[in-house]
Structure formats: structure tokens, C-alpha cells
Amino acid sequence: MTDPRTSVITERLSGVSRIIAVSSGKGGVGKSMVASALALSLAKEGSRVGLFDLDFTGPSTHIILGVPANIQPKEDRGIVPPIFEGLEYMSLVYYVGDNPAPLRGTDISNALIELLSITQWGMLDFLVIDMPPGIGDAVLDLVRLVERIEFLIITTPSILAFEVVKKQVALLCELKMPIVGVVENMKLDKAKTVEVASLKLGLKYIGSIPYDPKVEEAIGNPKKLLDTAVGKSMTQIKKSAKNKK
């Protein structure tokens, strides 16, 4: 059964070559940080890039990038994302705001669908989506509504994070979703646990990002962010993101 809204969304995204959903089973693994750095880094080398923050559990890319409050989308037959640091930037935060009002499940779905249906991305090489964590309704909706979505999975070395990632991967495989690979963030040692476990799941292990205390200081400063271990690890990740499966 095809949702009629799928075709509207497909049309809106028709000028976008690749849609990379940066995703994690578990929160707090650095997903938004990696999504921001990936988008920045792709833009810096000349790709046309959009960054779309759909993490309704706590949108944070606007904090990570330091997007000033006066940078706002414009209305013009839909919503046109503002350009910031060479990116087309769009976030749920523009619509649900930074207020504490929680959204109930159907409101979240409606907000995501609405935003996907009205945003004018134009021609992009990459649309990087900062996904909600977990495998809840919002993730299922995005999988269902966004054709050609590909998943980049972020985990940490912690077995607690990876246990949740395994469930997420099982679900994505069941839904026949393409997975770009696994990135192991905040790595403190040389343990191969996640690498071995990823390969066992049939996934590409893209690489690890060393834990770097400078990342916290770089919040709000894109140039500093690209100079941290996260920013410097983007070479490998970009290479994988560009390889069409």
C-alpha cells in the first residue's frame, strides 16, 4: 500500500542525488555531531549539501553548528531552507520550537510528513538527515515515506549501545533498507568488538572516531568542529557515503 503522501515527498526530493540518514539505535552516541560534521565537510569540498534535522527527541544540530536565530527559512511555494556555512539548513526546531511542549506520536508523524512535503531543497548532491534515535514510529514513517533513503549507523564502543544498534539493523534489513555502514564514535581503545560484530551482521565497518574532549568546546563553531577528531574522521565516512551501492 503506497501512502499518497509518498509521491509528494518523492517529487520534493527529486533533485537530490543521495539521501543519507544518520541514525542510531541509542541516543547520546554523537549522531547529531557526525551528521553535522558530515554535511559541513561535504559542503566544504564543493558538494551541494542539505542538512535536515528531524530528531524531534531533541533537535541539536542548530546548537552544534551555531546557527544564529535570525537565520530562518523563507516561504516561497513551500519552505526554502536558509544557507548556513555553505549548507541548506532545515530543522524541526523551526516548527516545533525550543519549547518544552512534548509532541504526541501522531503530532510528530504529522510534523515530519508536513516538513518533508513542503521543503524545497532544489538540486543537491547530498541530503544528510539527522534522524530520531531508535526504531519508533518516526523512523518507521521516514522509512516508509522517503524513497531512496540510505542509513549510516552510528554507535559507540559500549556494548549497551551496540546491543540496540543490532536491533535497529535487524529491522532495517527486514525492511530491505540500504545501509551505508557502521561508524564507531567516541573510541577510547583499539578493541575490535564492534568491527567484528558489524562484519558478522553483514555490514560495512567504515571506521572509528576517537574520543576527543575538544568536540564539546567546538559546539557552536563549525570551523573548530572540523578540526576535532570528528571533523578529521570525515574523509573515510565521505568516501563510503559517495560509494553508490
Residues that bind its own copies (CB under 8 A): 25-29, 32, 57-58, 60, 63-64, 98-106, 108, 133-137, 139-140, 156-161, 163-164, 166-171, 174, 188, 213, 216, 219
As measured in angstroms, the least distance from the Cβ of 224 to its own copies is 14
| Shorter beta-carbon distance to its own copies: residue 76 or 98 | 98
Of 79 and 186, CB closest to its own copies: 186
* Shorter beta-carbon distance to its own copies: residue 79 or 183: 183
User: What's the alpha-carbon Rg for the chain, to the nearest Å?
Assistant: 17
Q: Nearest approach, Cβ of 216 to its own copies (angstroms)?
A: 6
Enter the C-alpha cell of residue 232. Answer: 578529521
Q: Least distance in Å: CB of 191 to its own copies?
A: 10
Residue pair 53/93 in contact (Cβ under 8 Å)? The answer is yes
Encoded amino acid at 12, one letter:
R
Q: Which residues pair with 53 in a beta bridge?
A: 91, 130
In the complex with its own copies, the residue whose CB is nearer, 109 or 119, is 109
Closest approach of Cβ 217 to its own copies, in Å?
A: 10
| Choice between 64 and 229, CB closer to its own copies | 64
Q: Supply the minimum distance, in Å, between the C-beta of residue 227 and its own copies.
A: 19
DSSP-derived secondary structure letter, 170: H
Cβ distance to its own copies smaller for residue 79 or 132? 132
Minimum CB separation from its own copies for residue 74, in Å? 26
What minimum distance in Å lies between the beta carbon of 110 and its own copies?
13
Q: Which C-beta is closer to its own copies: that of 30 or that of 81? A: 30
Cell 554507535 found at: 155
Q: How are beta strands 83-84 and 205-210 bridged, if at all?
A: unpaired
